[in-house]
Amino acid sequence: MNTQIDFLAIGDIVSEPFIKLQDAQVHCNIDEENCMLSMRFGDKIPYESAEICHAVGNSPNAAVSASRLGVKSYLMSYQGDDQIGKENLESLARDGVRTDYMQIVKGLPSNYHYVLWYDVERTILVKHTEFPYSFPMDISEPKWIYLSSLASNSTAYHLEIAEYLKQHPSVKLAFQPGTFQMKLGTETLKDIYTHTEVFFCNYEEAQRILKTEEKDKIKLMENLRALGPKIVVMTDGIKGAYVHDGIDAWFMPVYPQEPFERTGAGDAFASTFTTALLLGKTIPEALLWAPINSMSVVLQVGAQKGLLTQAQIEEFLAKAPEDYKPKKIN
């Protein structure tokens, strides 16, 4: 297939009902960490509302984000031959995401997760179908590949993607590891890390990936860069985000706005930052865009409703507060 591909997102696709809880409690330790969501055991628990979001997941969210920002965006993923899968494809089509590399597998169910939404946070019940992953080595060269969450049987698939990147050095990789990819470890995925142009994780994930209790943000990013990525982007929730490219390091504050529901904030940040680079933006310019899309997403239910166009991002940027700008920290 001889097709121009700007942005190719690779990762599992999911449908998720968002269940807004009324009657629950959150218990945290003294540092407001390691929080637990609790409900009465063996009882009927009332909920306020439920809404199903189709075609979501880290990589589908990124593909939709890139499409809204005006680039030719494709999703490579697997799903079942069922109603959920059909609704996923319809949702992607509405958002202009190309589905040429979507694989429909008969006899296996499409991924379906449950999101328990309480206050502004969410707890997600997940079950990944183990699809027969195989990377098509003859695809046209994308400008960027965006790799994120996959099921636990995807080790060989990662090695195939790494081999494709080795054979096509002009293709740039953005890597936002999901839970299983972090569990696989840096040694198993060393060829992925080596070929990564931009690496995304949050502060706690950085410590988990590096198996360290190091708290210094610059040291964490330097240690992540030592694994191979040229640029490391590390988010830290409402505290802001950090970037290191091996020469300069920056801190970027969040765009000021109270969140409604935090699903998709990280995906919006990472995909917007990546798309900005694809469009020729510098790192500081990409840092101006990414928190705005992240902020917009958390004002809506789900990970995609709030994703913005370039023009909408520029509107928010025009009315940003004076201190909304990247600051060098090294």
Looking at residue 121, its pLDDT comes to 81
- State pLDDT tens for residues 226-259: 999 999 999 998 999 999 999 999 999 999 876 6
Query: Which amino acid is it at 136?
Result: P
pLDDT of 78 above 80: yes
Looking at residue 97, its pLDDT comes to 98
Stated pTM of the model: 0.92
Identify whether the C-beta of residue 137 lies closer than 8 Å to the C-beta of residue 101: no
Share of the chain above pLDDT 70, in %: 98
Looking at residue 122, its pLDDT comes to 81
Could you tell me the two tokens for 274? 């990546």
Q: What is the CATH number of domain 5-12+58-110+130-328?
A: 3.40.1190.20
Q: Lowest-pLDDT range, 95-109, 147-161, 262-276?
A: 262-276
pLDDT of 2 above 70: no
Looking at residue 82, its pLDDT comes to 96
Identify whether the C-beta of residue 131 lies closer than 8 Å to the C-beta of residue 150: no
Where does the chain have alpha helices with state H?
58-68, 83-94, 155-167, 179-184, 190-194, 203-210, 217-225, 265-278, 283-297, 310-318
The set of residues, in sequence order, having a beta carbon less than 8 Å from that of 22 and lying 6+ positions away, is: 46, 47, 48
Share of the chain above pLDDT 90, in %: 83
Looking at residue 259, its pLDDT comes to 65
Question: Cα angle at 147 between 144 and 150, to 5 degrees?
Answer: 155
Predicted confidence band at 95 (pLDDT cuts at 50, 70, 90)? very high
User: What are the backbone angles phi and psi of residue 173, rounded to the nearest 5°?
Assistant: -115, 130
Residues 226 and 241: their CA atoms lie apart, in Å, by: 19
- State pLDDT tens for residues 166-212: 999 999 999 999 999 999 999 999 999 999 999 999 999 999 999 99
Q: Output the CA torsion 51→52→53→55 (10° steps).
A: 180
- State pLDDT tens for residues 115-128: 998 887 889 898 89
Looking at residue 102, its pLDDT comes to 98
Which whole number is the average pLDDT over 30-48? 88
Q: How does the average pLDDT of the chain come out, rounded? A: 94
Residues 282 and 119: their CA atoms lie apart, in Å, by: 36
Report the phi/psi class of residue 11: left, alpha or beta, with left for phi > 0 and alpha for psi in -120 to 50. left
33 vs 119, residue with greater confidence: 119
